[in-house]
């Protein structure tokens, strides 16, 4: 008998059985394309509102400084380290949980917690209270990315995964845009209110109502998560095809596995961290830059910059899979090629921002930066899922997001006021400070992503060889 020719499809993202797909679609409340992508749509809504909870503080710099006597540096701690300390502490355990427990329930519990944390900030009567509320939000949101990405990788086959991932990764743009647009309008309204008395809870400042509204709104998509099933995790080829394909990786085993393959995993993690640092730096300080440099009020910042974030962020998310599909014609590794384009664009627009002297040019540069840092994100997440064994996805995603967030929130948000005051010797030179930091880390991203691309090719080739061996063994 002639042996069956081994096929070389994607390893851990192999097509699920028809019954499994049908079962998933049957759980969606509607049919057609919306039914197919229902799961990722709900996950994206959750991510959007989580990002609103996370980013709303960017609009509250002025009232926090006024009412709590905080400096720019102290506000920088709220925007970054206060969130990231707990995020990092729970990031890897969150990935471990995502690989073992029901991911839908995990996201529901975490979502309710970060909504409560956001609303709790409204009742803080000191800077320390705000700091601890941010710690709580960070701890809760640590579960979102690893559980969400792990679930998406099992909900969608390799043909739909890039689109599904692009939808999910668009959430920061949508959430950031909503935080700026809605937050600016809300803040403009609530700042007109001196104080509000809430029975049993006390009296709060008018602007703090913004935090209550945002926290309550975020609970709506969290409740919809109950309609998204947590399906059985897919099987795929691991590094040792003779063993069970669903080998379990703990934190220690998973870390050891990735350290042996550092030329992909850790250059990839830190390369994307550099790009994300630019994103978090710009989104954290752009509202303050526009207000101080061009005299815009919160509503004007929200309507102008918020619209740009929403439109150009979505454009970057949409362009990514389209460019990826074009690159497939010339490369067997199009996802990493797509990822490498982003840092070059970052350096270009950051260089232009450094010399921007008018509001129009500054907004155009911010629009280009928004497109540039969102553009590689979906294909970066897809690349990571393609390279990982199935039971390592949660841990790998947690490492990715912990490193990305640690650098972005820990360095970017506090570096801007430090560079402005210590190097540029003018705390109002926020724009030049943002641009300089973006150029520096954009260049680092170019170097690291180039190294990661070579490591990715090795990982994918090994995975495909193992899949071929497994196929022959099953024949």
Nearest CA to 175 among 33, 88, 323, 280?
Answer: 280
pTM score, two decimals? Answer: 0.68
End-to-end CA distance of the chain: 11
What is the distance between the alpha carbons of residues 410 and 416, in angstroms, rounded to a whole number?
11
What integer pLDDT is reported at residue 54 of this predicted model? 79
Residue 108: pLDDT over 90? yes
Integer Rg of the chain from CA: 22
Helix, strand, coil shares of the chain, percent, nearest 5, are 80, 0, 20
- Region 284-304: mean pLDDT is 86
Residues 319, 325, 330: CA angle, nearest 5 degrees: 125
Q: Contact, 280 vs 412, CB < 8 A?
A: yes
* Distance separating alpha carbons of residues 84 and 93, to the nearest angstrom: 15
pLDDT band at 446 (very low <50, low <70, confident <90, very high): very high
pLDDT at 202: 67
Q: What's the whole-number mean pLDDT along residues 406-411?
A: 76
Q: Calculate the CA 456 to chain-centre distance.
A: 21
Tell me what percent of the residues of the chain surpass a pLDDT of 70. Answer: 85
Question: Can you tell me the mean pLDDT for 188-216?
Answer: 77
Mean pLDDT of 67-87: 82
* pLDDT for position 442: 94
pLDDT tens digits along 343-401: 999 999 999 999 998 999 999 999 999 999 888 887 887 888 777 776 777 678 778 77
The mean pLDDT of 78-102, rounded to a whole number, is 82
pLDDT at 285 over 80: yes
Judged against a pLDDT cut of 70, whether residue 272 lies above it is answered with yes
pLDDT band at 55 (very low <50, low <70, confident <90, very high): confident
Distance of alpha carbon 265 from alpha carbon 250, whole angstroms: 17
Which residues contact residue 126 at a Cβ distance below 8 angstroms, ignoring those fewer than 6 apart?
A: 68
Instruction: State the Cα–Cα distance between residues 10 and 159, nearest whole angstrom.
Output: 10
Tell me which of 254-263, 403-412, 416-425, 440-449 is least confident. Answer: 403-412
Surface-to-core class of residue 255, CB atoms within 10 Å of its CB (0-12 exposed, 13-18 middle, 19+ buried)? middle
Task: Report the C-alpha dihedral over residues 301, 302, 307, 312, rounded to 10 degrees.
Answer: 70
Asked whether residue 20 carries a pLDDT value surpassing 60, the answer given is no
Q: Which of 70-74, 239-243, 283-287, 406-410 has the highest mean pLDDT?
A: 283-287
pLDDT for position 474: 59
For 48-84, the three-class secondary structure string (H helix, E strand, C coil) is HHHHHHHHHHHHCHHHHHHHHCCCHHHHHHHHCHHHH
């Amino acid at each position: 008998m002639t042996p069956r020719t081994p096929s070389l499809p994607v390893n851990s993202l192999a097509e699920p059985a028809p019954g499994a797909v049908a079962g998933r679609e049957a759980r969606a409340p509607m049919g057609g394309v919306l039914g197919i992508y229902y799961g990722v749509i709900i996950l994206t809504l959750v991510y959007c509102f989580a990002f609103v909870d996370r980013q709303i503080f960017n609009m509250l710099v002025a009232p926090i400084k006024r009412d709590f006597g905080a400096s720019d540096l102290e506000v920088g701690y709220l925007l970054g380290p206060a969130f990231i300390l707990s995020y990092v502490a729970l990031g890897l355990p969150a990935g471990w949980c995502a690989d073992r427990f029901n991911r839908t329930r995990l996201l529901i519990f975490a979502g309710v917690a970060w909504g409560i944390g956001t609303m709790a900030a409204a009742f803080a009567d000191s800077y320390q209270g705000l700091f601890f509320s941010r710690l709580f939000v960070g701890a809760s949101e640590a579960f979102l990315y690893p559980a969400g990405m792990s679930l998406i990788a099992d909900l969608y086959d390799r043909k739909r995964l890039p689109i599904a991932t692009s939808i999910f990764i668009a959430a920061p743009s949508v959430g950031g845009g909503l935080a700026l647009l809605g937050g600016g309008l809300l803040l403009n309204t609530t700042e007109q209110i001196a104080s509000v008395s809430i029975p049993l809870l006390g009296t709060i400042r008018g602007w703090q109502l913004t935090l209550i509204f945002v926290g309550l709104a975020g609970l709506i998509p969290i409740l919809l998560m109950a309609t998204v099933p947590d399906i059985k995790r897919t099987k795929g080829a691991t590094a040792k095809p003779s063993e069970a394909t669903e080998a379990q990786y703990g934190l220690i085993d998973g870390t050891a596995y990735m350290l042996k393959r550092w030329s992909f995993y850790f250059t990839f993690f830190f390369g994307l961290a550099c790009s994300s640092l630019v994103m978090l730096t710009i989104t954290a300080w752009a509202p303050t830059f526009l207000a101080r440099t061009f005299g815009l009020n919160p509503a004007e910042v929200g309507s102008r910059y918020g619209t740009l974030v929403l439109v150009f962020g979505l454009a970057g998310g949409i362009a990514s899979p389209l460019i990826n599909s074009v690159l497939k014609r010339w490369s067997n590794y199009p996802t990493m090629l797509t990822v490498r384009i982003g840092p070059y664009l970052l350096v270009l627009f950051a260089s232009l921002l450094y010399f921007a002297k008018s509001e129009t040019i500054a907004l155009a540069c911010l629009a280009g930066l928004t497109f540039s840092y969102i553009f590689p994100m979906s294909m970066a997440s897809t690349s990571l899922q393609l390279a990982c064994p199935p039971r390592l996805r949660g841990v790998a995603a947690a490492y990715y997001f912990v490193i990305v967030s640690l650098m972005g929130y820990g360095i970017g948000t506090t570096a801007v006021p430090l560079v402005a005051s210590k190097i540029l010797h003018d705390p109002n030179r926020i724009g030049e400070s943002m641009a300089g930091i973006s150029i520096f880390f954009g260049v680092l991203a170019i170097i690291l992503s180039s190294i990661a691309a070579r490591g990715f090719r090795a990982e994918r080739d090994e995975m495909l060889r193992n899949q071929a061996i497994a196929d022959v063994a099953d024949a």
